[in-house]
Amino acid sequence: MQTNLTKQKLTAGHTVLGCFSRYADAGLIEFLGYQGWDFLVLDAEHGSLEPRDCENLVRACELRGVTPIVRVTTNQPPVILRYMDIGAHGAQIPFINTLDDAAQAVRSLKFHPLGNRGLAGTRAAHYAQGITFTEHCLQSNRETLLVAQIETEPAIKHLAEITKLDGVDVIFIGPNDLSHSLGLPGQIQHPLVQDAMKRIADIVLPSGKALGLMATSVENAREWQLRGARYLTVTIESILGPAVRRFIDEFRKP
């Protein structure tokens, strides 16, 4: 696999910015790659993306030097394996609620001695052309990025343990599911949800792991950057919708 520039920047202490897309269109991903994103999250959890779709989307990311990360459907080894074998540079894994959940994710993403991911001559391994399996394992363990989503109240109780685990690079706050877990679905600005997000940040920031977040606007992204988050994301819809409405409203003004 190619050098993971997003992981490289995070390791150096920089902030990275990425965009979620759930659409199986390589042209769209290639277009987004021209816009200056550090990474793109190919969203298989809340989209219809299959490994075959993601393989072409990863190729489109690599054309523009953008880091392709797949948000997988679930924290299961066979699922994670299929998305990593197509060449994704990392996985964003939902509902990491316990230390065991996080450890399973690491084992699924990494090769020996960090994990037990299945080994084969896949695209990620250059189809076993010009690189040995030993080199592939070393390279993958070095370059792959693991983003653990913390999005339930029980997960916060285990978060201090999770942040000590080798192999986890980013702790990502999932605000929508967190609000749902607290019985306040969609009410992200509710004081209880905001307090839970603050508790997550207070645990993660001193730990050495990067704090990640789904921002709702550029102002929200800047706010969280000032609060210490370094893996910042938005959805393509949150950018596209307002831009389209603004264009139409401006055009229709008397």
Of 33, 19, 169, nearest to 93 (Cα)?
169
Question: Is 190 noted as a catalytic residue in this protein?
Answer: no
Helix (H) or strand (E) holding 231: strand 231-235
Contact 29, 54 (CB under 8 A): no
The whole-angstrom separation of Cα 56 and Cα 134 is 26
Q: List Cβ neighbours of 243 (8 Å cut-off, separation of 6 or more).
A: none
Q: 40 forms bridges with which residues in the sheet? A: 19, 68
Helix ranges restricted to H, the chain: 5-11, 26-33, 51-63, 77-85, 99-109, 133-143, 153-162, 175-181, 191-204, 218-226, 236-252
Which DSSP state fits 183? Answer: T
Q: Annotated catalytic residue: which of 14, 46, 89, 126?
A: 46
Active-site residue list: 46
